[in-house]
Amino acid sequence: MTADQEKKQAALEAVKYIEDNMVVGLGTGSTAKHMIKAVGALVAKGMNLTCVPSSDATEKLAKELGIKIVALDEIEKIDVTIDGADEFDANFQLIKGGGGALLREKILAWNTKFNIIIADSSKDVEKLGAFKLPLEVIPFATKQIITFLEEEGLKPVQRMKGNEPYRTDENNNIVDVDIFDVDDLKALEIKLLKVPGIVETGLFLDTTSLIIVGKEDGPEIKKR
């Protein structure tokens, strides 16, 4: 199977957890696109769903598919959120944010009763960090934050889009850092979030309820 086929397989398995009248969080990225299309198919068949998107791109696709979209402040709690990941390990720890939506994705995850991660098999790693960790930072402090990260040995690189800084849906910058040699990810998360101007990190250390991985012989379901 190709990676994209694995993504689609995982997405189709994940939507089986969606029930009528649920509030559903919609993730962002290439894997989540398969899931959003599958949710659209459920809606087309008559399922009543209210969905909260994690990015402008996800909202646009969902509306095109006839999915009812609401803002987070219009609901009390999300029943289930389905999203992708750039990496995950055996402890259900994730790196997310390759698509730049990490802040809204983490907000959705925190406000969700049951979080499902869908991925192709390449995202399953022994140790997080081969994929660079995204940090969402405010433009006003980006230069100083990069200097701090350099001093911490994290090899920061500001994400660009062409010749201009990449901007998130919240109009912030993204700085990608190297954490492969970091062993205590919880301590790193605490240290980074103490820095004024770092809004959020792409470390999702304790939000995931279930991971579904696309595999040649059928989807693998990992439970805590």
Per-residue pLDDT reduced to its tens digit, 56-87: 999 999 999 999 999 999 999 999 999 999 99
Q: Are the beta carbons of 81 and 27 closer than 8 angstroms?
A: yes
Q: Are the beta carbons of 43 and 23 closer than 8 angstroms?
A: no
d(CA 183, CA 212) in angstroms, rounded, equals 25
The answer to pTM > 0.85 is yes
Q: Are the beta carbons of 103 and 34 closer than 8 angstroms?
A: no
Average pLDDT, the chain: 98
pLDDT category of residue 120 using cuts at 50, 70 and 90:
very high
pLDDT at 124: 98
74 included as an active-site residue: no
What are the distances in angstroms from CA 195 to CA 67, 69, 82, 190, 203? 38, 34, 30, 9, 15
- The active-site residue, picked from 13, 105, 136, 200, is 105
Stretch 137-145: mean pLDDT, rounded? 98
d(CA 108, CA 116) in angstroms, rounded, equals 12
- The pLDDT > 70 percentage for the chain reads 100
